[in-house]
Amino acid sequence: MKKILLAFSFLCFATFLFAQSADDVVGTWINPKGTGKIKIFRTGDYFYGNLVWLDQPLDAQGKPKLDKENPDVSKRTRKIQGLLMLTGFTFDADDKVWQNGQIYDPKNGKTYSCKMTLSADNNQLDIRGYIGISMIGRSETWKRVDP
């Protein structure tokens, strides 16, 4: 009986230890190349992310890099640093995934469907941008900058 109780206690503790809440994704993250930091925040039930830091925010002429690849001509004068890169994510507590959002890539001016999953220790964020279904896309892992 003691073994069953001990196993049950461990299972409950492990479940508590690895349980994730919606706000666990909030914070500042750095991309794999170390060239940009994205600050994820919550507004209501949705999660968003701004590009808050670039390792090279200036172009060859010493001016701020602009969103020159944006398909909307009126947005091509926006600075890349500060852009809203992640939009409209919701948290699915059952699957522990932030989903139904979009990610914008200023390098090519395209917006992709996106989902995000967090590692058990909450310090790595797997980003999956895709077109149509999630099998056709690209993934990368961001690391948390702030604890």
Instruction: Tell which residue, 112, 120, 139, 140, has the closest CA to residue 35.
Output: 140
Domain ranges of the chain: 20-144
Beta carbons of 103 and 112 less than 8 angstroms apart: yes
The whole-model pTM stands at: 0.84
| pLDDT tens-place string over residues 65-120 | 999 999 999 999 999 999 999 999 999 999 999 999 999 999 999 999 999 999 99
Closest C-alpha among 123, 130, 132 to residue 141: 123
2.40.128.520, 1.10.1740.10, 3.40.250.10, 2.60.40.10: CATH of 20-144: 2.40.128.520
pLDDT of residue 146: 75
Report the candidate in 108, 109, 89, 107 with the shortest Cα–Cα distance to residue 99.
Answer: 89
Task: Determine the number of helices (DSSP H) and then strands (DSSP E) in the chain.
Answer: 1, 8
Of 123, 116, 118, residue with least CA distance to 146: 123
